[in-house]
Amino acid sequence: MAATASTSPISNGAPGAPFGVATSASRQSVTRRLQSELMQLMMSAPSGVSAFPVSDDNLLAWAGTIEGPDDTYYAGMKFKISLEFPQEYPYKPPHVKFTSPMYHPNIDMGGNICLDILQNTWSAALNVQTVLLSLQSLLGEPNNKSPLNGEAASLWDFPEKYRVRLDQRCKRED
């Protein structure tokens, strides 16, 4: 089926539509879902995390902030992230990236993140709030068995050395 003004190709197909075709209804479903998640964040955002669309006319691109949890190397720090939602959301995860400089075992110098829920364990039951809280948790509990930044993983258990490298790469709020 050729794409028309009311359809566009997608990879998983919308319910009730031919495989590989997004309907206007499926795009509206994504919009409704993201509006609902935005409202949830505005009404009851967990402490230390936030995210909002970057513009009023595009709900698929968001910017967020993650505060470093107390009692971690990242306490007193704030990090900016970008979230890009695919047309297939929530059936496919958002693409999330740190836009602030970051030094962490599971985050490379380009801001790319190695986190299972953003890859192979994503589920439509997860949402923006889950992603934000998981990222905040990751700051204090990295998976050093699957590092994107090998140096950070090797220094994690050496607090003085880790803090020196972290302070070189990231700014603390005073």
Q: Known catalytic residues?
A: 114
| Structure token pair of residue 152 | 């950070």
| Structure token pair of residue 115 | 């986190």
**95 and 86 in contact (C-beta within 8 Å)?**
yes
Cα–Cα nearest to 79, from 139, 159, 155 = 139
**Is residue 96 exposed (0-12), middle (13-18) or buried (19+ Cβ within 10 Å)?**
buried
- Collect all residues with Cβ–Cβ distance below 8 Å to 8 and sequence separation of at least 6: 21, 22, 87
Local structure of residue 45 (DSSP, 8 states): P
